[in-house]
Amino acid sequence: MSYDRNIRLLADTMQPIQDIYQLILELNKLKLVFRNTTTHSDRKESTAEHSWSVSMITMMLMGELKKEFADINELKAIKLSLIHDVVEIYAGDVIAFDTKARQEKEKIEAEALERLADIYPPFGQHLRELWHEFEQGESLEAKIAKAADAICPIFQRLKAKQSYIPFNITIADLEKVKYPRFAFSKTFLALYQQLKVDLLDKTLIVNS
């Protein structure tokens, strides 16, 4: 093998590695995007922490979900859970109950997705497909990931004892915004019902 050919092969190898390197650095910025929910120490939860928690919920519930549904693509459900908020690197986080802000955020998130996808195009196309599947919420795997995403902050507020009351969010609001995400699954509904009981018991929310 000639020296010149070695150099060409090295260059062909290095460009994808450089792109991957840059994308890894960019994705690490998700650790610096903070949400409305807090940790037990009153520190704001990062979007990276939230995404990890959503993915763990998806994994932990898979055994029960497979009793309800046949042919779940477990890997895809976990991937959707992992990447669902990557656009917040550029777009930031908006609380689920702020409907107007979430509508305005759609264009910003789409632009953010393209910025990320362009860094390393071979992975970027896969990222686009996963993100759009999650947003559309039609596949079983997307419904699972969306339900895990919706239930995760409720667990976080319960654990951190962060009340919904100062935000004027009631059980009725949870029913309007959160319940539709869980309605497809007995497993998610069971968790949601218990969470409501515990939130009321600890006076972290009111009925109306």
- Rounded to an integer, the average pLDDT of 44-50 is 95
What is residue 16's predicted lDDT score, i.e. its pLDDT? Answer: 85
What pLDDT is stored for residue 22 in this prediction?
A: 93
* Span 159-183, pLDDT tens digits: 999 999 999 999 999 999 999 999 9
Q: Select from 151, 125, 144 the least CA-distant residue to 37.
A: 151
Instruction: Find tokens 């010149």 and name the residue.
Output: 4
Q: Using one digit for the tens of pLDDT, what is the confidence trace for 192-206?
A: 999 999 999 999 999
Nearest one of 41, 52, 72, 28 to 152, comparing CA atoms: 52
Query: Is 173:196 a contact under the CB 8 Å cutoff?
Result: no
Residue-range domains of the chain with CATH = 3-201 (1.10.3210.10)
Burial class, 59, CB count within 10 angstroms (exposed 0-12 / middle 13-18 / buried 19+):
middle
Sorted by sequence, the CB contacts under 8 Å of residue 166 that are 6+ apart come out as: none
Query: The pTM is what?
Result: 0.88
Say if residue 1's pLDDT is above 60.
no
- Average pLDDT over every residue of 113-139: 96
How many Å separate Cα 28 from the centre of its chain? 15
